[in-house]
Amino acid sequence: MPSNKRVLTGITTSGIPHIGNLAGAILPAISESKKEKTSSFLFLADYHSLIKTLDPDLTHNSSFEIAACWLACGLDPKTTTFYRQSDVPHIMELAWILSCLTAKGLLNRAHAYKAAVSLNEDKNSQDPDKGITMGLFNYPILMAADILMFNADEVPVGQDQKQHLEMTRDIANRFNHHYGEVFTIPEAVISDETGILPGIDGQKMSKSYDNTIPAFIDTTKLKKLVNKIKTNSLEPGEPKDTEGCTVFSLYKAFASTEQILSMQEAYKNGISWGEAKNQLHDLLEEFISPYREEYLRISKDRGYVEQTLKEGAEKAMQVSSPILESVRKKVGIKGF
Ligand code: TRP
């Protein structure tokens, strides 16, 4: 029997799930997971969170919120492998083994690390590594371990993660070449940049820019956030450009073709920003409300979420355990 294609992706648990996560990662991953020939591995990258924050409550609350979010969006824990990274210690063990054959020079070239160094250089800091942790430096190895631990075939990620996938392939090839074939060389599936949502300030929606629209806020707060979206100062009645307009880009991401056409028409006819924002709010509200209802229901049952993740980790370890066993043997860590 040919085995299913393994698709694996994770979300770092250092923020509140936002509509960009939903539209760009969570919903597409769930719909992929429902395909017959796919085995999906969807996980909470909670150890990655420590790279971004030292606030234990943030990591903990975010893990729960993102778990509940996946479930609210329709993830079926029976047909996918849904787990918390920290519940599968094999990943951390593999990360060490991989770090012992990864060139430091490879990590010196990682974008995130280089950006941190260049920030220090801009500030004329004495030490270019000032404030940079080993966690940040080693991050691509932990990500490689996440992926290789399950011999994933495909890894759907945003453009910003492309280099990490290249590094993962590099590391896997190096291992296979030195010790003998163990790892599948994973393919990155890079999401379409045109699908990336802008945040309320017009930059890419991202928790690092603090410009997100959280997925499950109530309708009043949603309205307030939508009203904050940056626009230009054109008056009602003046024709407006849809190109590069944040309100329009967000509208377009959730609207039907018909709705998009009619909004384009309204822009030409000088719709006021207030009215355009009202329409965006109504559209988002309609999109979010069924998920929000489910989210609120699931959030009340922490035991269910915990149990689901524990069972998911058991399932995950049935896959990781034999792979780690063979890795350990290959590197010479085995019984006498
Ligand atoms: N680094 C990814 C991000 O910030 C999250 C992540 C961690 C991930 N491990 C992964 C994604 C493994 C895919 C596969 O978006």
Is 201 inside a domain boundary? no
Q: Work out which ligand 1 atom sits closest to the CA atom of 164.
A: 1
335: which residues sit within 8 A by CB, 6+ positions away? none
Ligand 1: which residue has its CA nearest to atom 6? 10
The pLDDT score that the predictor gives to residue 192 is 77
56: which residues sit within 8 A by CB, 6+ positions away? none
115: which residues sit within 8 A by CB, 6+ positions away? none
Compute the distance from residue 180 Cα to the ligand 1 centre, in Å.
26
**CATH number of the structural domain spanning residue 159:** 3.40.50.620
261 and 116 within one domain: no
| Cβ atoms of residues 179 and 259 within 8 Å | no
172 and 83 within one domain: yes
306 and 291 within one domain: no
Compute the distance from residue 191 Cα to the ligand 1 centre, in Å.
13
Is 209 inside a domain boundary? no
3-state secondary structure of 192: coil
In total, how many domains does the chain have? 2
130 and 160 within one domain: yes
Ligand 1: which residue has its CA nearest to atom 4? 12
Is 278 inside a domain boundary? yes
Q: What's the CA gap between 91 and 220, in Å, rounded? A: 42
Q: Which amino acid is at 152?
A: A
109 and 84 within one domain: yes
Q: Compute the residue count for the chain.
A: 336
**Cβ of 143 below 6 Å from ligand 1:** yes
Is 210 inside a domain boundary? no
Is 282 inside a domain boundary? yes
| Cβ atoms of residues 171 and 138 within 8 Å | no
220 and 188 within one domain: no
The pLDDT score that the predictor gives to residue 258 is 97
Mean pLDDT by 10 residues, the chain (336 residues): 87 94 93 95 98 97 98 98 98 98 98 96 94 97 98 94 97 98 97 81 90 95 96 95 95 95 97 97 96 97 98 98 98 97
3-state secondary structure of 81: strand
140 and 233 within one domain: no
**Cβ of 32 below 6 Å from ligand 1:** no
**Cβ of 161 below 6 Å from ligand 1:** yes
Instruction: Give the mutation target among 26, 84, 146 for probing the ligand 1 site: most ligand atoms within 8 A of CB.
Output: 146
Instruction: Give the mutation target among 81, 91, 157 for probing the ligand 1 site: most ligand atoms within 8 A of CB.
Output: 157
**Cβ of 316 below 6 Å from ligand 1:** no
Compute the distance from residue 124 Cα to the ligand 1 centre, in Å.
31
Q: What's the CA gap between 112 and 107, in Å, rounded? A: 10
325 and 292 within one domain: no
291 and 165 within one domain: no
What is the enclosing helix (H) or strand (E) of 176? helix 162-179
**CATH number of the structural domain spanning residue 290:** 1.10.240.10
Q: Which of 108, 86, 82 is nearest to 95 (CA)?
A: 86
Q: Work out which ligand 1 atom sits closest to the CA atom of 85.
A: 9
Q: What's the CA gap between 8 and 147, in Å, rounded? A: 7
251 and 122 within one domain: no
Token pair 């792979």 is found at 323
Is 285 inside a domain boundary? yes
Ligand 1: which residue has its CA nearest to atom 9? 143
311 and 292 within one domain: no
Ligand 1: which residue has its CA nearest to atom 14? 9
Is 175 inside a domain boundary? yes
275 and 244 within one domain: yes
Is 168 inside a domain boundary? yes
Domain extent at residue 138: 5-196+302-331
Token pair 């000088």 is found at 270
The pLDDT score that the predictor gives to residue 247 is 97
